[in-house]
Amino acid sequence: MFKYKNLKKILFLFQPETAHNLAEIALRVLQKITILNNYMTKRNFVDNDKLTQEIFGVKFLNPVGLAAGFDKNSTMVKAMPALGFGFTEIGTMTPRPQDGNPKPRMFRYPSKNSVQNAMGFNNEGAHTVWKNLNKVYPNVLPIGVNIGKNKTTPKEYALSDYKTLIKKFKNTADYLAINISSPNTPNLRDLQNEDFITSLFQMAKEITDKPILLKIAPDMNAQAAIQLCKTAVNAGAAGIIATNTTIDYNLIPGCKDFGGLSGEVLTEKSYELFKEIAKELYGKTVLISVGGISNAQEAYRRIKAGASLVQAYTGMIFEGPSMVKNINEGLIELMKKDGYNNISEAIGADLKN
């Protein structure tokens, strides 16, 4: 097999968004070539009962999922086992198709193993994504659906956009994730308030009993974030995903002054906020940690802090298709050292001591 570092040199000759599009083409082809897809799955998917757990009434074969933003239109779902993922989250999609923000809108910082994106929910719209998803759901892996409002929808009508999307995807997802934390849609983060969250989840409960989670930004004050998450859970949220990308541009001097930063520069910021939220909500709801996770040690740190599941995306750009395999194999070794027989025993271990 080729070494990813050699392929990375080629991919990094292209603009980041072009490289992403090339990766999508490759994965869409891969999932149609059964022999090759099976080979890559056998190579990268860690099949070990120690990593298996049941959440939302669904079996997760390992705790590492693909974060939203990579598979925006649900075109690569069948290739996810070949990358080692235990679940995938598609989107973010909006009710109507939208092109997203002007290009260029994605930037690499290789020395920091980080990326800055200002994509702006570019997607083909709910109906097209639903048609794509309907072809592959239910899937061997759990599928989450990440939803957001259209850029042109005024804040006062945002609830209607989310209502439309929940109705559309309630039967083609294992869980839904509410995205009001992306920095790339004007005023979207203004919806991170208790009144909107309460109305949103009360509305959602009337439509479906499907698990619906809230994804929050890493730039909130910890106490405000905790209160918002509590409000969501009290109103019916089945879990919290922390965190989205950050607009703390001090993390990379000289970076763009728009879009969200992800990757290694987000690691500590994401972890610290997640840890504070978990202190309050561990054991009361499902917690998923995302942001700067690219190795087993960091994934295990989040799990011991209270995460039932973790997600990754940016790290794969720099580490390649074996990243998730390395994380899962590393988790097994770390669990073994701590005497755990199943990943569920490690979840929240730091909070139990």
Tens of pLDDT, residue by residue over 140-175, are 999 999 999 999 999 999 999 999 999 999 999 999
- At 3 the pLDDT is 86
pLDDT at 261 over 80: yes
Output the known binding site for FMN.
Answer: 68-72, 92, 146, 179, 215, 243, 263, 292, 313-314
| C-alpha separations of 278 from 115, 182, 275 in Å | 26, 21, 5
Output the known binding site.
Answer: 68-72, 92, 117-121, 146, 179, 184, 215, 243-245, 263, 292, 313-314
Q: Using CA of residue 120, residue 69, residue 35, residue 140, what is the dihedral sign?
A: negative
User: Whole-model pTM?
Assistant: 0.97
DSSP state letter for 140: S
Options 74, 114, 181, 182, the catalytic residue: 182
Count CB atoms within 10 A of the CB of residue 152: 11
Look up residue 190 and give its amino acid: D
pLDDT category at 1 given cuts 50, 70, 90 is very low
Whose structure tokens read 């020395």?
111
Average pLDDT for the chain: 97
Domain 4-352 belongs to what architecture? Alpha-Beta Barrel (3.20)
Structure tokens at 263: 């990757």
**Residue 212: what are its φ and ψ, rounded to 5°?**
-125, 125
pLDDT category at 352 given cuts 50, 70, 90 is confident
Sorted by where each begins, the domain ranges of the chain are 4-352
Q: State the average pLDDT over residues 10-14.
A: 96
User: 95-109: buried (b, 16+ CB within 10 Å) or exposed (e) per residue?
Assistant: bbbbebbeeebbbbb
Output the known binding site for substrate.
Answer: 72, 117-121, 179, 184, 244-245
pLDDT digits (tens, 9 = 90+) for 60-78: 999 999 999 999 999 999 9
pLDDT at 302 over 60: yes
pLDDT at 319 over 50: yes
Annotation marks residue 308 as catalytic: no
pLDDT category at 2 given cuts 50, 70, 90 is low
pLDDT digits (tens, 9 = 90+) for 36-46: 999 999 999 99
Structure tokens at 173: 């997802």
